[in-house]
Structure 1
Amino acid sequence: MTSSGQSRQTEGDPDLRRRTITWIVGLALVGLIFDGYDLVVYGTLVPVFLRDPSQLGPVDPAQAGALGSYALVGVLVGALMAGSVADIVGRRKVMLTAYAWFSVGMIATAFTGTAGTFGILRFLTGLGVGALVATTGALVAEFAPPGRKNLCNAVTYSGVPLGSLVAALLAILLLPVIGWRGMLLIGGIPLVTLLPLALVRMPESPAWLMSRGRVAEAEQAALRCGIPLAEIASRPSPATAPATDGRPGFGGLFRDYLVPTVLLGLMSAVGLVLVYALNTWLPELMGRAGFSTSGSLSFLLVLNGGAVVGALLASRLADRFGPKKIVAASFGIGAVAIALMTVDLPLAVLLAFVAVVGLGTSGTQILIYGFVATYYRTNVRSAGVAWCAGFGRLGGVGGPLVGGLMVASGLALDSIFYVLAALAVAGVVLTWLVPGTHRGVPRRGERQDASTAAAN
């Protein structure tokens, strides 16, 4: 091999790396589109279940909230399980299993006939959804080039609100035609499309291989993906790192990052209360405010459209100024916009505020995942993202329940929005309390990846 060829392998191939990250982000994005569709399609079906007892039997608002939460309990369990597993067996295997699992779960749920069976299958489907959400951020962060990690994660996790947007749009267009069972069957499409493609085009992370001491495999994988060898060599592995750096998974996460991990989990929980309270109950709330069924679903469409656009723009700022400041600002903007929804405004202005609410809720959650994925070292990164996604799902579980209880209690519409605005303010406070990552004295036992440090 010529010296120029050796240099090209050692320094990486920018074109090959660009193609690799495009495939990875593309596949991960599509997976999270169906992930978001899976979790949010239920919100578009709630009015059907409340008004038509022939579907699942009589369903009241409190029970509807509980049914919405079963899937999120599954997400919590699946995410926490996947965090440790992905740091041990690899990101790729967990993601491929998750694609198959939640697709089969959606198909099975479409054939249920009782509320009890529906809830059980929603829980089981949630296991696959949680595993996917918990693993995706770690994989993307490990392939993304320095200085683009928050952007790549924002593009990827925008799949969740994009899936929500697709669910709302398809509900407007197709729900009267294909019914709620057809809406759930759509969620099984990845089984015959995304999964086969990912089997061929999704590689294992060289950084994860290096963190497991599989140096030769890591170097070969890096060369195949166009990643400079120096980039993965700078990352500590059990073979090269001191014992205080090498503990993988949740053990290393809670030993070396206890305070920030608790705060990041609470941030995610607050964010997901907002995300799922609004995605589950916004159509019903706007319907009670006097809007038609299709009109109230349009608010859900605008909410998630605002989340996607806002998060992509904010992620560029996060790469430049650091994610902490941008996440705090996004929570704050969301609080103001939610409070302003109580004002009597023209429809166009109200829709604009709903789009900003999307940035301050689902958009903020996208930014949080990017924050977490670039915060931790390699051998605890998947556990960190899993903790954020899993513990945060306590908020996701609470969101539909809190919304259902507020609606069932007859609480005024303005009061409901004020409660949600107060939660967004709590998110601002929690974000500012997270310790600085890499620009001060490192925490005990912490030695950060060079690429992670560059991203923060």
Structure 2
Amino acid sequence: MSTPTHPSGEAGGTATGTVIDIADEIDKAPISGLQIGVIIVASLAVVFDGFDSQLFGLSIPAIAAEYGIQPAALSAQLGWVLSLTFVGMGIGAVSGGYVADKLGRKLALNISLLVIGVTTVAAALMPNIPLLGVMRVLTGLGIGMVLPVVASLVAEYTPGRRRSFTVALSIVCVPLGGLLGGIVAAGLLDAIGWRGMWLLGGGLAILITVLIHFVVPESPQFLAARHAPGDRERVIATLRRMGHNIPDDAQFLNHHDHEKQRASVGALLKPEHRRDTLGIWLAFFGSLLGVYMIFGAAPTLLRQGFKFTSADASLSITWYNIGAIALTIIGSWAMGKWGSKPVLMTLAVGAAVSAAWLWLMPPVVGAGATGTFVAQFVIHGGFFAGLQSVLYSLCAQLYPVSIKGIGVGMAGTVGRIGAIVASVLGLALVTSGGTFFLVIALAAVACFVAMLIVKNHTPPAGRETKY
């Protein structure tokens, strides 16, 4: 949207320049090769985020063997590392959002990946468990930063008609990275050891920062909102690379954010955002609690409570991730077609019903029961982990540019609190049988209620969005 401006920059009067609404300019144009490149590289960062998140869990048997840790002592000697990693992720999520809003999406993403890379390499060189644990906490900071930064960056580079789908596709790279981690571990763990795997993973993270430096320009919407010296020229150059015909005298609107807000948690709780913020926080808390109950404790529950073999118990996470990838793609497509409210409420209902199925008909061992067990985990993973991934699409569109990063980041931090609760509660319920799944069903119900609380759901593609 372009309008003539006064010399003062106000619309109307004698034309001395052109005011351009960047979001509207991106929405009305075909997606360009530059935008596709940004989305691919950002998604690659998320794939690595998922891969690195799984490194510790995949390496536990090898670490335990190296340090002579007996199975009965695993929780006491290594469980604290996992719990504190979640704390690091929570701090990293809100920190990443704050850095993204203050210094830029590109810089925040590079910082996060450098933190992951350097600390993962350092962890591979640590001589004992306490020092390894310290490095993993710092790695958690970097991991926590990635998703809010990528969600903000991808949302601002994508036309509105494809935004929900594209953001969700970038987030689905977390379970994809987890699957990749399992495949790599199966092929390389015995050959190069856990330390070699971590050196490889940390080195790849550092290489991705080089790729980001050369491929990803800063978000034009962020630059327009910041108004620092030279930002206008950078916006013009980036938009021209995207195929837009931008005049040299162009000025840029801060899209739907004329009264710029300071990036802070307080801004998220102002009257105009409070209901959406509380709703999305509840949804993130409930969804990550439910997802990490499965990730953190389901294999142990299946082995100890239901007498599954170690191989079949571990495969439960594979089936869960496969369902997550499938339903995230379907759910994000449906969100673009019908809007976020009916889709997210449907996913929450599916998560609750599938968890209730596991509660009322717990998994059983036996050749005839294998198909049911696989179906239960694929369907439940699809609905609940799919819900969690698609929530990022909604969250990335709830807030204006100046508080978008901290909005997504703070939601991620509240979600990590749910993950910490899950890491404690899940292991406490491994001897409780089906009650474990009842708790997950209740978490899904909380997500359904949260979607009723959120006011500014994203509409179907083709209708105007608020941010």
Paired with 1:154 and 1:383, the residues of 2 have a C-alpha distance of: 18
Cα 1:322–1:16 change in 2 (3 A) is: closer
Residue 381 (structure 1) aligned to one of 394, 404, 408 = 404
Residue 433 (structure 1) aligned to one of 448, 453, 457 = 453
Structure 1: 5+ residue runs without aligned partners? 1-5, 440-449
Is 1:184 the equivalent of 2:201? no
Is 1:402 the equivalent of 2:425? yes
Cα 1:54–1:102 change in 2 (3 A) is: same
Residue 352 (structure 1) aligned to one of 363, 371, 375 = 375
Structure 2: 5+ residue runs without aligned partners? 1-17
More helix by share: 1
Cα 1:89–1:391 change in 2 (3 A) is: same
Correspondence for 1:25 = 39
Correspondence for 1:447 = none
Correspondence for 1:446 = none
Is 1:372 the equivalent of 2:395? yes
Residue 321 (structure 1) aligned to one of 314, 335, 338 = 338
Paired with 1:334 and 1:177, the residues of 2 have a C-alpha distance of: 39
Instruction: Using the TM superposition, give the Cα deviation of residue 357 of structure 1 relative to its aligned residue in structure 2, in angstroms.
Output: 1.7
What whole-Å deviation, never above 9, does each CA across 1:164-209 have from its counterpart, x for those lacking one? 1122333444444444334433421423532221110011000111
Tell which structure's C-alpha radius of gyration is larger: 2
Cα 1:340–1:168 change in 2 (3 A) is: farther
Paired with 2:174 and 2:284, the residues of 1 have a C-alpha distance of: 15
Instruction: Using the TM superposition, give the Cα deviation of residue 114 of structure 1 relative to its aligned residue in structure 2, in angstroms.
Output: 3.6
Correspondence for 1:362 = 385
Paired with 2:116 and 2:407, the residues of 1 have a C-alpha distance of: 22
Instruction: Using the TM superposition, give the Cα deviation of residue 292 of structure 1 relative to its aligned residue in structure 2, in angstroms.
Output: 2.7
What whole-Å deviation, never above 9, does each CA across 1:354-387 have from its counterpart, x for those lacking one? 1122222322111011110011111111111111
AA aligned to 1:274 is: G
Paired with 1:99 and 1:128, the residues of 2 have a C-alpha distance of: 6
Instruction: Using the TM superposition, give the Cα deviation of residue 258 of structure 1 relative to its aligned residue in structure 2, in angstroms.
Output: 2.0
Is 1:330 the equivalent of 2:330? no
Paired with 1:377 and 1:12, the residues of 2 have a C-alpha distance of: 16
Paired with 2:252 and 2:222, the residues of 1 have a C-alpha distance of: 11
Residue 167 (structure 2) aligned to one of 153, 157, 178 = 153
Paired with 1:309 and 1:423, the residues of 2 have a C-alpha distance of: 21
Instruction: Using the TM superposition, give the Cα deviation of residue 317 of structure 1 relative to its aligned residue in structure 2, in angstroms.
Output: 0.7
Instruction: Using the TM superposition, give the Cα deviation of residue 263 of structure 1 relative to its aligned residue in structure 2, in angstroms.
Output: 2.0
Q: Is the Cα contact below 8 Å between 1:157 and 1:366 reproduced in 2? A: yes
Instruction: Using the TM superposition, give the Cα deviation of residue 212 of structure 1 relative to its aligned residue in structure 2, in angstroms.
Output: 1.4
Residue correspondence of structure 1 range 60-139 to structure 2 within 5 A: 60-61=74-75, 64-139=78-153
Cα 1:115–1:274 change in 2 (3 A) is: farther
Correspondence for 1:303 = 320
Q: Is the Cα contact below 8 Å between 1:265 and 1:391 reproduced in 2? A: yes
Paired with 2:462 and 2:400, the residues of 1 have a C-alpha distance of: 10
AA aligned to 1:259 is: R
Q: TM-score, normalised by structure 2?
A: 0.83
Residue correspondence of structure 1 range 223-302 to structure 2 within 5 A: 223-226=240-243, 233=252, 235-236=254-255, 241=258, 245-250=259-264, 251-255=266-270, 256-288=272-304, 289-302=306-319
Instruction: Using the TM superposition, give the Cα deviation of residue 395 of structure 1 relative to its aligned residue in structure 2, in angstroms.
Output: 1.2
RMSD: 3.3
Correspondence for 1:59 = 73
AA aligned to 2:352 is: A
Q: Is the Cα contact below 8 Å between 2:224 and 2:253 reproduced in 1? A: no
- Identity across the alignment (%): 25
Instruction: Using the TM superposition, give the Cα deviation of residue 160 of structure 1 relative to its aligned residue in structure 2, in angstroms.
Output: 0.6
AA aligned to 1:426 is: A
Q: Secondary structure at the residue paired with 2:217? A: coil
Q: Is the Cα contact below 8 Å between 1:55 and 1:113 reproduced in 2? A: no
Q: Secondary structure at the residue paired with 1:246? A: coil
Instruction: Using the TM superposition, give the Cα deviation of residue 21 of structure 1 relative to its aligned residue in structure 2, in angstroms.
Output: 2.0
AA aligned to 1:413 is: G
Correspondence for 2:441 = 421
Paired with 2:64 and 2:353, the residues of 1 have a C-alpha distance of: 31
Paired with 1:285 and 1:49, the residues of 2 have a C-alpha distance of: 22
Paired with 1:19 and 1:140, the residues of 2 have a C-alpha distance of: 14
What whole-Å deviation, never above 9, does each CA across 1:394-447 have from its counterpart, x for those lacking one? 11222222222223xxx32312122222211211111221113478xxxxxxxx
Instruction: Using the TM superposition, give the Cα deviation of residue 254 of structure 1 relative to its aligned residue in structure 2, in angstroms.
Output: 2.7
Q: Secondary structure at the residue paired with 1:193? A: helix
Correspondence for 1:442 = none
- Which of 255-264 and 313-322 deviates more? 255-264
AA aligned to 1:236 is: H
Instruction: Using the TM superposition, give the Cα deviation of residue 92 of structure 1 relative to its aligned residue in structure 2, in angstroms.
Output: 0.5
Paired with 1:307 and 1:13, the residues of 2 have a C-alpha distance of: 29
Q: Is the Cα contact below 8 Å between 2:165 and 2:329 reproduced in 1? A: yes
What whole-Å deviation, never above 9, does each CA across 1:71-104 have from its counterpart, x for those lacking one? 1111111121222221121100110111111012
